[in-house]
Structure 1
Amino acid sequence: MSPEVNDAANDDAGGDPGTVRPGGRTARVRAAVLRTAGDALAEHGFARLDLADVARRADVGKSTVYRRWGTVAGLVADLLTDMAEQSLPRTETGSLLGDLRANAELVRSTLADPRQGALFKAVIAAATTDARTAESLHRFYEIRVAEWAPCVEHAVLRGELPKGTDPYEVIRAVSAPLYYRLLTSDAPLDEAAGARAAEAAAAAAKAGVYA
């Protein structure tokens, strides 16, 4: 085992699976493993994800991977946490439609990416049968929706939306048609699809659907 892996393993001894200390070798090992896990998920799906294979492909000691993440579900949970933390922050344009278009474009471009789209398909499929993966996926979306909810709250304060509008439901309404197209159709996720999703959510919110 390399000195880097030895040091990372020693840093993590006694910690809970999936937890890491920031910075240094530990951070580099975590980044390498999560990147490799994401690649493997996109290529082969959750059912064929294997900790030993991830360790080999990431050039990290197998014992380090098992000690830190414990299970495939633990590794996927950490991957989703990292994805939520690394995702771009919200864009505020000064108008509800502008903000929702920015949100839709972020979601659309992510799902349209061959690697990221395949990765989300794999995780969503796994969440239907694995409780921990489902919990991790729910937490991922809670973080991302909460990041964008203030755009709706600010639109209410500007008078663009009725008082009492549920910001979380509006943000979910932007993403919903894009995920539906990803999972049920081979139609391209182009910019027009993102624009339609944003415009539909904005129109519904202005009509009081989410109040």
Structure 2
Amino acid sequence: MERPGGRTARVRRAVMVATEDVIVEHGPAGIDLGDVARRAGVGRATVYRRWRTASGLIADLLADMAERSEPRARTGRLETDLLANARLVQRTLNSRRQGPIFRAVIAASTTDPECARALHDFYRTRLRTWAPCVVEAIDRGEAPPGTDPVAVITAVSAPLYYRLLLSDQRLDRRAVEQAVAVTLAGVRAGAFVVEC
């Protein structure tokens, strides 16, 4: 999808910020399209016509977040690239704004197919963005040929999301470093090699 420009981009940005505000304050169940329009300072008809439902707002919010995500690291070493990825996940999930938004969107995706599709698209985009650091590591001889780049990136972030969702602990430096160390050990042992 092409990113809209001009007034359309300003309206979308205002609606996305208003949607985030509502999610942070009330969770995804609290999204009311009229309230989002009021907060964004746009016409109700605009919000109803473009997004139609709360699920439509959440889906576009995830697309917007993927578009605005930081680019992947290019440090020249797999370990430091994976550490950069884990620290990005840590900063995002520990954020007072982004952490609650991710928890709410993940919760909504368990019962709403449109939210689930949007969440899966978001993560596919982020995994594709970071996968080249593993491909480059294979080329440098840091990872065995046939290593699955997406599985490696998933292995770094999965324990961090698990901790976010199933504990009341913030993601600390130890959790980040542990996720990277375990993933690197798996890479070196060939655990992520896909059989041809």
Does the CA contact (< 8 Å) of 1:162 and 1:206 recur in 2?
yes
Aligned to 1:183: 165
Rounded to whole Å, the distance in 2 between the matches of 1:67 and 1:83 is: 21
- State the Cα deviation string for residues 156-206 of structure 1 (Å, max 9, x = none): 111111111000000000100110110011122122221211121111111
**1:89 correspondence with 2:71:** yes
**1:133 correspondence with 2:115:** yes
- State the Cα deviation string for residues 100-135 of structure 1 (Å, max 9, x = none): 000000011000001101000000000000001000
Q: What is the 5 A alignment of 1:1-211? A: 22-211=4-193
Could you tell me which amino acid in structure 2 is paired with residue 195 of structure 1? E
The verdict on how the C-alpha distance between 1:158 and 1:129 changes in structure 2, with shifts beyond 3 A counting, is same
Rounded to whole Å, the distance in 2 between the matches of 1:36 and 1:201 is: 37
Rounded to whole Å, the distance in 1 between the matches of 2:27 and 2:170 is: 21
What stretches of structure 1 of length at least 5 have no aligned partner? 1-18
Question: So what's the TM-score if we normalise by structure 1?
Answer: 0.89
The verdict on how the C-alpha distance between 1:92 and 1:160 changes in structure 2, with shifts beyond 3 A counting, is same
Structure 1 residue 37 displacement after superposition: 0.3
Does the CA contact (< 8 Å) of 1:92 and 1:99 recur in 2?
yes
- State the Cα deviation string for residues 53-110 of structure 1 (Å, max 9, x = none): 1011111110110011111111111110010010000001111101000000001100
What stretches of structure 2 of length at least 5 have no aligned partner? none
Larger radius of gyration: 1
Does the CA contact (< 8 Å) of 1:100 and 1:174 recur in 2?
yes
Rounded to whole Å, the distance in 2 between the matches of 1:197 and 1:136 is: 26
Structure 1 residue 46 displacement after superposition: 1.1
Does the CA contact (< 8 Å) of 1:20 and 1:26 recur in 2?
no
- State the Cα deviation string for residues 130-153 of structure 1 (Å, max 9, x = none): 001000000000000000000001
Q: Secondary structure at the match of 2:65?
A: helix
Rounded to whole Å, the distance in 1 between the matches of 2:3 and 2:177 is: 40
Question: So what's the TM-score if we normalise by structure 2?
Answer: 0.95
Give the CA RMSD over aligned residues. 1.2
The verdict on how the C-alpha distance between 1:36 and 1:168 changes in structure 2, with shifts beyond 3 A counting, is same
